[in-house]
Structure 1
Amino acid sequence: MKLAHLLIILTVITSCNSDVVVSSYHSFENPSWPAKDTIHFNFNITNTSALYTANVMLRHTPSYPYDNMYVFLTTVYPQGQSKTDTVNLLLADAKGIWLGSGMGDLYDLKIPLKRQFRFSKAGTYKIQLVQAMDIDPLPEIVDVGFELVKISE
């Protein structure tokens, strides 16, 4: 009976992760993000009829000095053209309480960039993130990640 429960749990865990197209972090040596460091994430899209959600993932310490973070997000399309947006990532609420989950000296946060969208072209896409704050390096940032999840066929 225990084996049957274990198999069910493993099936649920694997099926939950099967729709993750990419989920990757870039770690910084010191908890700080230099402005010159561009973080790259590449992924391949084959299904243009599916709906996707894109997220930025952050890990920071409680000593991070701001309640938000601006980043330049560049998407490079399979045909080679690119589009850059300035994105304001909220890390704390209006009362200064950190968003996300805290464990020890780290806060983990997943911030939706775009929900329920389709890719118009199949091929390899590239996401580039650059911190756009007035301070260099940006202190107390441990990891920056990107996640793309297929949410429907």
Structure 2
Amino acid sequence: MMRALLYNICVAVVAAVGFVSCGGERDYSSWANLPQEGWIFTDTVSLLPVDTSLTDNDSLVNGAIKVALRHGNSYRYSNLWLELTYHTDNRRTVRDTLNIRLADVYGRWLGSGFGASYQQEVTVKPEGVIDVTRPVAMRHIMRVDTLRGIEQVGIEVIR
């Protein structure tokens, strides 16, 4: 009972802070759940940062482009190599290779979180142009066929 009350209070505070801090500009994000049995090397995750059914979408957005992921304690490595492909102005395609550090040299997770799940974000471009109405492709390029322990991957575009 007390735990539910504390949870509800925390949700209300986070929502209130979110509404107060909104400056009229909309941020874009999309997340994908990965299979519990693992992320296969050949499986590309396709994310659409914006809901294309909305009528007030901008196609090109200027802002910080970030990749975020959630992983559990069962993840066996201290980093994650990703290949990220997205579209910019003039239908230009950009492909970036990212090395995301998840743990320090002592094996302590660097991301935020508690319990058995941690979240890590990395800025791909502090200021970039991205077409949010076209899919962003992401795949792991680790030296294993099936990568276990990564729970979710996401893309965020912050104006």
TM-score range, shorter chain: 0.7 to 0.9
Point out where structure 2 has 5 or more consecutive residues left out of the alignment.
Answer: 1-12, 51-56
Please tell me the root mean square deviation across aligned C-alpha atoms, in Å. Answer: 2.9
Q: Residue 38 and residue 15 in structure 1: after superposition, are their counterparts in 2 closer, same or farther (change >3 A)?
A: farther
For the 8 Å contact 1:78–1:124, the answer to whether it is kept is no
2:68 and 2:155 in contact (8 A); partners too: yes
Matches within 5 A, 1:55-66: 55-66=66-77
Structure 1 pair 15–40 and aligned structure 2 pair: CA distance change class (3 A)? farther
Q: 1:83, CA displacement in angstroms?
A: 2.1
User: How far apart, in 2, do the equivalents of 1:148 and 1:73 lie?
Assistant: 14
Q: Is the 8 A contact 1:38 1:128 kept in 2?
A: yes
Q: What is the CA-CA distance between 1:9 and the residue it aligns to?
A: 7.8
- Code of the aligned partner of 2:39: W
Other-structure match for 1:131: 140
In structure 1, distance between residues paired with 2:40 and 2:91: 26
CA distance in 2, matches of 1:122, 1:66: 32
1:149 is aligned to: 158
Aligned to 1:16: 21
Tell me what 2:5 maps to: none
Q: Distance in 1 between matches of 2:95 and 2:78?
A: 23
Structure holding more strand per residue: 1
Letter in 2 for 1:80: R
Stretches of structure 1 that go unaligned for 5 or more consecutive residues are 1-7
Q: 1:97 aligns with which of 89, 101, 108?
A: 108
What residue is the counterpart of 2:36 in the other structure?
A: 30
The alpha-carbon deviation at position 123 of structure 1 amounts to 7.0
1:35/1:98 CA distance change after superposition, 3 Å:
same
Distance 2:157 2:111 in 1: 18
Cα distance in 2 for residues equivalent to 1:132 and 1:47: 29
Count of aligned pairs: 141
- Work out the percentage of aligned pairs sharing the same amino acid: 28
Alpha-carbon contact 1:57-1:147 (below 8 Å) kept = yes
